[in-house]
């Protein structure tokens, strides 16, 4: 039974959460939907239950509006980040940058290149093909030449961690700087640690123009993600000694000739040279 539940969550979770995220971003749609439910409840329920049903729907609307307010967003995001250790600034075997799109990504790629320039590591792993093109262009403009590869077969945090194991663990690179945004860091940190990496989390703050509504929904998505990843056993810790074993298994799942691209290959595909 538990394994069946895990398979269902594993298959549908990423698409479902992002669909819900974009739907809940529109208060008019959500409020209208809840009002329709209230009206239907009034029509179909027995008279003695109607008042309770309407009250419940109104409570849901109030709760939804509360979740989109700073009263929820600020403490919810702060709680997520409170469990994450601060970046010590030590040298690392590699710098790993997790993928985001649009405004949410902030300046994480500039931060990664600053670390390369400062000498923290010359190895750079970028999640996502388009994101890697952005990094290659920026590194060329800054006359930097990191040993960069891009993981292009990833869609979830779990896949990002597994592809990192395939790309880095097989080369004995287990001490990493992990860069992602504030809401996402806790789940990412636990996932990478679970595969045996020694992780120095470096939190990239969300840009100032990311509104309260978006921050609230990102936090809610991460809380749901923490629960689902916990149920699926994705935080089970491995020691650094077991990372080569994990890497060997993941190398079959993420073959180098299909799931990774070098900086030169990125230049050819996007004609950046």
Kindly report the pTM of this predicted structure: 0.85
Expressed as residue numbers, the domain containing 204 is 86-270
For residues 96 and 201, the answer to whether their CB atoms sit within 8 Å is no
Question: Based on the domain organization, do 170 and 44 belong to the same domain?
Answer: no
With b for 16 or more beta-carbon neighbours within 10 A and e for fewer, the 243-262 pattern comes to bbebbeebbeebeeeebbbe
Question: Based on the domain organization, do 62 and 144 belong to the same domain?
Answer: no
SS3 (DSSP) at 71: helix
Question: Based on the domain organization, do 148 and 191 belong to the same domain?
Answer: yes
pLDDT digits (tens, 9 = 90+) for 103-129: 889 999 999 999 999 999 999 999 999
Helix axis angle, 243-253 to 157-168, nearest 10°: 110
Question: Based on the domain organization, do 63 and 90 belong to the same domain?
Answer: no
Question: Based on the domain organization, do 140 and 264 belong to the same domain?
Answer: yes
pLDDT at 238: 73
Tell whether 77 is covered by a domain.
no
Question: Based on the domain organization, do 158 and 236 belong to the same domain?
Answer: yes
Question: Based on the domain organization, do 154 and 253 belong to the same domain?
Answer: yes
Question: Based on the domain organization, do 141 and 195 belong to the same domain?
Answer: yes
List Cα–Cα distances, 82 to 76, 102, 186, 237, 261, in angstroms.
Answer: 10, 25, 9, 20, 35
Tell whether 76 is covered by a domain.
no
pLDDT at 14: 64
pLDDT at 122: 96
Query: Which of the residues in the chain have pLDDT under 50?
Result: none
pLDDT at 157: 94
pLDDT at 270: 85
Question: Based on the domain organization, do 230 and 194 belong to the same domain?
Answer: yes
Tell whether 2 is covered by a domain.
no
Question: Based on the domain organization, do 214 and 169 belong to the same domain?
Answer: yes
Tell whether 79 is covered by a domain.
no
Question: Based on the domain organization, do 118 and 211 belong to the same domain?
Answer: yes
pLDDT at 44: 72
**C-alpha to C-alpha distance for 219 and 75, rounded to whole angstroms:** 10
pLDDT at 10: 57
Question: Based on the domain organization, do 55 and 93 belong to the same domain?
Answer: no
Number of domains in the chain: 2
pLDDT at 80: 95
pLDDT at 60: 83
pLDDT digits (tens, 9 = 90+) for 14-67: 666 666 666 666 777 777 777 787 777 777 777 777 778 778 878 888 888 898
Tell whether 78 is covered by a domain.
no
For residues 165 and 188, the answer to whether their CB atoms sit within 8 Å is no
Tell whether 75 is covered by a domain.
no
pLDDT at 17: 66
Tell whether 15 is covered by a domain.
no
């Amino acid at each position: 039974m538990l394994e069946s539940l895990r398979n269902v969550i594993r298959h549908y979770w990423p698409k479902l959460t992002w669909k819900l995220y974009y739907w809940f971003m529109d208060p008019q749609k959500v409020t209208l939907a809840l009002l329709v439910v209230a009206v239907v409840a009034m029509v179909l329920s027995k008279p003695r239950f109607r008042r309770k049903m309407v009250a419940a729907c109104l409570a849901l609307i109030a709760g939804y509006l509360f979740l989109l307010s700073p009263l929820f967003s600020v403490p919810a995001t702060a709680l997520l980040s409170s469990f994450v250790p601060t970046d010590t600034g030590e040298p690392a075997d590699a710098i790993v940058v997790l993928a985001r799109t649009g405004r949410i990504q902030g300046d994480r790629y500039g931060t990664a290149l600053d670390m390369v320039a400062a000498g923290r590591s010359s190895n750079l792993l970028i999640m996502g093909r388009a994101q890697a093109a952005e990094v290659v262009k920026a590194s060329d403009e800054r006359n930097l030449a990191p040993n960069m590869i891009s993981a292009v077969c990833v869609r979830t945090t779990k896949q990002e961690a597994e592809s990192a194991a395939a790309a880095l663990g097989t080369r004995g690179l287990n001490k990493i700087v992990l860069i992602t945004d504030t809401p996402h860091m806790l789940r990412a940190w636990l996932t990478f640690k679970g595969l045996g990496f020694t992780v120095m989390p470096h939190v990239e703050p969300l840009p100032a123009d990311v509104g309260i509504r978006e921050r609230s929904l990102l936090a809610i998505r991460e809380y749901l993600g923490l629960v689902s990843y916990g149920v699926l056993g994705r935080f089970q810790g491995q020691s650094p000694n077991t990372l080569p074993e994990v890497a060997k298994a993941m190398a079959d799942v993420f073959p180098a000739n299909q799931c990774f691209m070098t900086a030169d290959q990125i230049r050819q595909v996007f004609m950046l040279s």
